[in-house]
Chains A and B, each alone.
With several copies, the nearest count.
Chain A
Amino acid sequence: MITKTVNNVTEALEGVKDDMTFMFGGFGLSGIPENSINELVKRNIKNLTCISNNAGVDDFGLGLLLKKNQIKKMISSYVGENAEFERQMLSGELEVDLIPQGTLAERCRAAQNGIPAFYTPAGYGTEVAEGKEVRDFDGKPHVLEEAFEADFAFVKAWKGDTAGNLIFKGTARNFNAVMSGAAKITVAEVEELVEPGELDPNFVHIPGVFVQRIYQGEKYEKRIEKRTVRES
């Protein structure tokens, strides 16, 4: 079995540099690669382009990178409920490329699967489609969108094995699955790292070939943005 294990987050992030493009899994704060993000904050590398559906919150997740002005450009679908993100965008400190969430996901998936470009109806007739090729299929206009290119993808899974196989839990799968293998190097952190053979091969969500480095995260805060409960 080809082994992908690295000993810790320091080894996992070897080679990250100023000016690089990174992908981050997660939706809101659910399933974000907490340990990799915290290490990036510590390393204080700058001028980053970040592809991530959201940008965390003011004091957690990618919000930490934003606050330290490490991010030059965000490629995201949603800003709402992140005051610092909105402030930096409106003030012009931060370049922002807002794109439809499904297009964001599919551009990751395209990179993962070697599809250089595809057509989607999303965004036709809006400013998102400006400057892009539009073509009719079955009489309906579609926009040409291209695969992302990134240096590192940081993803977080529930369980993983040393061969790099990943299993996600609940809705924390989100962008983590489609970003795995979508960058030159994919760094996966997992809550539980097991030996090959412990995961059922029928239920591996992401095969190890898509992952270059895997480590067990030191701790997970797994913060909840909107705790909503009902009476039991």
Chain B
Amino acid sequence: MLDKKGIAQRIAKEVKDGYYVNLGIGIPTLVANFVRDDIDVEFQSENGILGMGPFPTEDEVDADLINAGKQTITARPGASFFDSALSFGMIRGQHIDLTILGAMEVAQDGNIANWKIPGKMVKGMGGAMDLVGSAQNIIVAMMHTNKAGKSKLLSSCTLPLTGVKCVTKVVTNLAVIDIVDGKFKLLERAPGVSVEEIKEATEGELIVDGDIPEMTL
């Protein structure tokens, strides 16, 4: 089974040379730490930077330089700053190659819910609806089940949606799963996790086709 870092590490393998990548808050933020350093990748943060660098040293901290998670950051050489309209223009205009974000629920039709539990909790969608409404390559990073032990990979979402038929891949603590033809398709097992365990933790329809390899990180 993977921990959050492990999920990020596995997703990092999906990041290809020349990609512009938008990382959501939470697990996705960790992905940056695991991207191979022999490929060229740029991170966009939707509050207005392309070419995001690592966290600053104490001396470098600048209130005018944060990421979408409100953390202080740095800018790499070749970075640029821009306003929120142009930033979402990059996203909406499909100039960003890969979007990685968290979710409360993902359905086998590719629907995603991640911003609201009616009556209980409202985070707000932030930029997520714009991201999932436009991106062509969306990976969800999340735990396979919620704190109550219930599956987050469902036949259909129960919470208010963030976007429809948009998620292409899900990486959880248990598995790597693609969404193909309205079904979950199991691609890889997390180390030490059996196909049975994954089936049990997946409420939606899970296609298991042939031998499922254990993932390498």
Q: Interface on A for B, CB 8 Å cutoff?
A: 1-3, 27-31, 53, 76-81, 86, 89-90, 96, 98-106, 108-109, 111-115, 120-128, 158, 161-163, 165, 168-178, 181, 195-197, 199, 201-202, 204-205, 207-210, 222-232
Contact = CB atoms under 8 A, between A and B. Distances in A.
A90 B62 contact: no
Given A29-B70, A229-B57, A230-B55, A102 B88 contact: yes
Given A114-B134, A163-B51, A108 B85 contact: yes
Given A99-B125, A229-B56, A229-B58, 5 more contacts: A98-B115, A100-B127, A172-B64, A175-B83, A197-B77
Interface string B1-40: 0000000000000000010100000000000000000001
Interface of B: 18, 20, 40-42, 44-51, 54-59, 61-73, 75-96, 111, 115-116, 119-130, 133-134, 160-165
Contact of B50 (A113, A174, A209, A232): A209
Given A77-B124, A80-B123, A115 B92 contact: yes
A168 B84 CA distance: 13
B83 A113 contact: no
A100 B125 contact: yes
A126 B88 contact: no
B126 A78 contact: yes
Nearest to A164: B78
Given A90-B122, A113-B92, A222 B80 contact: no
A178 B85 contact: yes
A170 B64 contact: yes
A158 B64 contact: yes
B92 A123 contact: no
Contacts of B51: 1, 163, 201
Given A2-B20, A108-B85, A229-B55, A171 B92 contact: no
A26 to B, nearest CB: 10
A210 B40 CA distance: 16
B90 A230 contact: no
A178 B83 contact: yes
Given A103-B130, A174-B83, A226 B69 contact: yes
B95 A210 contact: yes
Contacts of B134: 114, 121-122
Contacts of B40: 1-3
A209 B95 contact: yes
B89 A113 contact: yes
Contacts of A176: 83
A52 to B, nearest CB: 12
16 contacts: A2-B41, A27-B47, A30-B70, A100-B125, A114-B92, A114-B93, A120-B92, A165-B80, A195-B77, A196-B78, A201-B75, A222-B63, A229-B55, A230-B54, A230-B56, A232-B57
A28 B125 contact: no
Contact of A122 (B92, B122, B160): B92
A120 B133 contact: yes
A105 B90 CA distance: 13
Contacts of A207: 50, 80, 82, 86, 90
Contacts of B111: 125
A126 B72 contact: no
Given A76-B124, A228-B72, A27 B48 contact: yes
Contacts of B90: 181, 207, 209-210
A23 B49 CA distance: 22
A113 B122 contact: no
Given A170-B65, A208-B78, A224-B61, A98 B124 contact: yes
